[in-house]
Amino acid sequence: MKTRSHMTLMLSFMVNAVIFGTGAIIVLSIESLRAYAPYLLPAVIVAAFIATPIVSWWMAPRLRLQNNSD
């Protein structure tokens, strides 16, 4: 595997937790959305699983060390 693939795999766990946590907090903290929580929380889970590889793949090269020797 390439370095980017390894980094993407390692990042995916953290990115998934952040995306799901953000969506869950939004659904549970807004009073009008709380009534639809049994339907919206599974949608948040699916959206997090779909967005995780995309965000992780985008972030991986940006986290690599840039060796700028001046």
Give pLDDT tens digits for 21-67: 999 999 999 999 999 999 999 999 999 999 999 999 999 888 887 76
Distance separating alpha carbons of residues 29 and 21, to the nearest angstrom: 12
Residue with the larger pLDDT of the pair 1 and 49: 49
Structure-token pair, residue 55:
């965000």
Reported confidence tier of residue 68, pLDDT bands at 50, 70, 90: low
Please tell me the distance from the alpha carbon of residue 20 to that of residue 15, in angstroms, as a whole number. 8
The whole-model pTM stands at 0.82
Cα separation, 50 vs 57, whole angstroms: 12
Residue 3's pLDDT band (boundaries 50, 70, 90)?
Answer: confident
The distance from CA 57 to its chain's CA centroid, rounded to whole angstroms, is: 11
